[in-house]
Every structure is written in C-alpha cells, then in structure tokens.
C-alpha cells in the first residue's frame, strides 16, 4: 500500500501541469458544447515543433526518447545551418567480448562546450546485436555524422573497414582489404553515390605509394601503385576537396591524388624530414584553402598555421583565423564562430591521445589552457 500511495502522489504532482496546458482550451470547448483533453505525449504539432526549434540537438535527442509522438520525423528539426550545432561531438568507445555471442558496449557522445550536460549514451551494456567486429577496431576518420573504423585481421592478413553512425546506430560494411594501410578517409556522406573511400599505404623503403579506392556499391577495392624516386617522409595526414585527396608527407611535402584521372603527383618540392622533430602536422581544407597546422608536442604552448600558395607552390604563414574556430584531431576542420559561438572565435581546440582534456589556444593573447 505504501508503494501504491507514493505512485499516486507522483501522479497528483504531474496532473496539474497537463491541466494547466489545456485549462483555457478546455473551458472554451465546454462553452461550445465540446470537450478536449491532451496529454504531454499528444501535444499539437505546431506547439511541439516550436518547442523543438528552441532546444539544442543534445536535448532534442533526449526529447525524442520520451514517447513515440515526440519521435515523429515531422519534429526532427534540421540544424545544419545553426552555428552552435556545427561544433563537434567527442565520442568515447570501447567494445569488449565477454562470451562467444555477447559483447559489452560502452559508447558515449559528449559536447565539450555544453555546460552541465552529461553524455549522450549511444550504447551501454551487454549486447549480442552484431558487435563482434567492433571488438579491437579503431577509428581512423569521421565526417558527416559517420565514423570510419578499421580492424586488422588475424595474423596481419589484411584489414576490414566499416562505418558506424552513432546517432542512428547504422552500420555500413566495406570490402575487405588484403593489405595494411597508413591513412584512410572518405569524400562524401557514405550514403551518397559520389562517396569515394580512400586508403593509402607507403612501402617500407619509401619506393612506392599504394592507393586503394572504392565506391559505395563496389564489391572490391581498386588498387593503384605509383613508383617514386624520392624519399617523401612518412605519410602524416590526408584531406579531401573537390575531387582530390591531398596528402601530407613528413612536415611540408604535399601531394594529391585525383579520383577522376587516378593520378598521383607532387605539389611541392620534397623537404628533408627530421625523425626527431617534435611538431605534429595536421592537414585540413577551409574556405578554399589547404592548411597545415603544426603543434609542438613537447612545448604545448603554441600553434603555427600555414596555407598553401598555389601560385608559388609553397607554404605561407597564416597569422589570423579571421573569426574561425579550428578543431584538430581525428578529423580536422574549421567552422565560423558566429551567433552563440562568437566567444570561440580565433581559437584552436586540440584533441590528442596524450591529453586527458581538450587543449585550447587563443590566437589573440597566445594563451594555452585545457578546456
């Protein structure tokens, strides 16, 4: 009886909220000889849409889990053009096999600039819904709400690739690759027929570059091998723009692979590479410019940004972000800092495995701190 009484007390506390929403409408309908009552799960579409438009994507995801009525696609507000929503999410993941057909999943999404918000739980617990391939896999690229995972096969005989969308839990399996690789990326949303998946491997003696590509519906990889007579240095980063994958070797050697002509060519002179150099380069494309950002892992107090000069085929120091916000990590990119995000203008945020928190750098006062 005590438990039943507590439930009733909770119901009494909730009822006035529902009655308040409908009170005036109910009175008006009574005067006309009609009566209407609505629950929170059956709000009018215009009211529910107005509510959804005023909350961030993090809260929308939680709202859609309330009931079926709030999950209606009509209320899934598009947010690609909202500046505050283009900032990245941080994803933590771990999948452990605990039996032959069970996997323990731990996958969460965090919004680093959303105060007092806990993580969005993607998966948490024991599952048997086809997560065996996730065990031991690592993320190698992320774009368009998808994460590209790779997993080395047993005895080192090739690599398997798959894509995972943490919001929808959709999975796309790619053809197996019968070799190892150094970097991987993709051009468009994986559901697009224009999407090209790109994998590059450099021979141990730096005498050949092997590039594998495949499309969304391809059953196998196309292999292209390019012999080189110069030591380019290790492949460090790759970025896609307008039909080309740009590849950074060493610290400043830039090359490109055309997905249309299937050609590989150098854009800069080959620069000597110091194996003991402490700077980590990150390649990205922003507003028509190809940029490389250097961070000194030992000093941790400054970032240097260079843009590629197409006329001189060389790198030029860039002294300002022009009210952009720069994010470095598994996938590096810039976003315009406007509206609610104006306080993040001209700042760099860096997520690296060596840090427990996000490192931020302010270009105006040259200050470094952990976010």
CB atoms within 10 A of CB 308: 20
* For residue 105, pLDDT beyond 70: yes
pLDDT digits (tens, 9 = 90+) for 20-60: 344 444 445 445 555 566 677 777 777 777 777 666 655 66
pLDDT digits (tens, 9 = 90+) for 196-255: 999 999 987 778 999 999 998 899 999 999 998 888 888 989 999 999 999 999 888 999
Q: Assign 3-class secondary structure to 157-197.
A: CCEEEEEEECCCCEEEECCCECCCCCEEEECCCCCCCCCEE
| Mean pLDDT calculated for residue range 9-14 | 32
CB atoms within 10 A of CB 127: 14
- Joined together, the tokens standing for residue 47 give 């009211």
* For residue 143, pLDDT beyond 50: yes
Residue 139 confidence class, pLDDT cut points 50, 70, 90: very high
Helix (H, G, I), strand (E, B) or coil at 156: helix
Helix (H, G, I), strand (E, B) or coil at 265: strand
Q: Which of 324, 323, 297, 331 minimizes the C-alpha distance to 90?
A: 331
Contact call for residues 215 and 195 (beta carbons, < 8 A): yes
Which range among 4-18, 267-281, 300-314 has the greatest average pLDDT? 300-314
Q: What is the pTM of this model?
A: 0.75
């Amino acid at each position: 009886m005590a438990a039943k009484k507590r439930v009733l007390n909770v119901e009494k506390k909730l009822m006035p909220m529902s009655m308040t929403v409908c009170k005036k409408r109910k009175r008006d309908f009574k005067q006309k000889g009609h009566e209407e009552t609505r629950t929170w799960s059956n709000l009018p579409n215009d009211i529910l849409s107005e509510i959804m438009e005023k909350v961030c994507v993090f809260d929308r995801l939680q709202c859609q889990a309330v009931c079926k009525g709030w999950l209606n696609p009509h209320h899934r507000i598009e947010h690609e053009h909202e500046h505050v929503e283009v900032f990245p999410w941080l994803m933590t993941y771990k999948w452990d096999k605990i039996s032959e057909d069970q996997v323990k999943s731990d996958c969460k999404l965090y919004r680093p600039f959303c105060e007092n918000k806990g993580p969005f739980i993607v998966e948490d617990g024991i599952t048997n819904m086809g997560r065996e391939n996730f065990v031991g896999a690592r993320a190698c690229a992320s774009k368009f709400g998808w994460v590209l995972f790779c997993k080395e096969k047993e005895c080192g005989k090739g690599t398997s690739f798959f894509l995972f969308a943490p919001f929808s839990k959709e999975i796309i399996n790619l053809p197996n690759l019968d070799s190892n690789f150094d970097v991987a990326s993709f051009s468009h949303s994986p559901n697009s027929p224009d999407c090209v998946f790109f994998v590059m491997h450099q021979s141990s003696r730096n005498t050949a570059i092997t590039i594998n590509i495949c499309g969304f519906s391809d059953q196998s990889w196309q292999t292209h091998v390019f012999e080189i007579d110069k030591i380019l240095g290790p492949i460090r980063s790759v970025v896609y723009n307008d039909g080309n994958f740009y590849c950074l070797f060493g610290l400043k050697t830039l090359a490109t692979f055309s997905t249309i002509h299937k050609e590989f060519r150098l854009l800069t002179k080959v620069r000597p590479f110091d194996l003991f150099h402490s700077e980590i380069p990150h390649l990205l494309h922003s507003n028509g410019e190809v940029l490389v950002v250097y961070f000194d892992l030992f000093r941790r107090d400054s970032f240097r940004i260079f843009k590629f000069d197409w006329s001189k085929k060389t790198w030029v120091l860039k002294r300002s972000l022009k009210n952009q916000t720069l994010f470095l990590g598994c996938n590096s990119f810039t976003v315009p800092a406007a509206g609610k995000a104006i306080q993040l203008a001209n700042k760099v945020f860096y997520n690296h495995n060596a840090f427990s928190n996000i490192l931020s750098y302010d270009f105006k006062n040259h200050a470094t701190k952990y976010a």
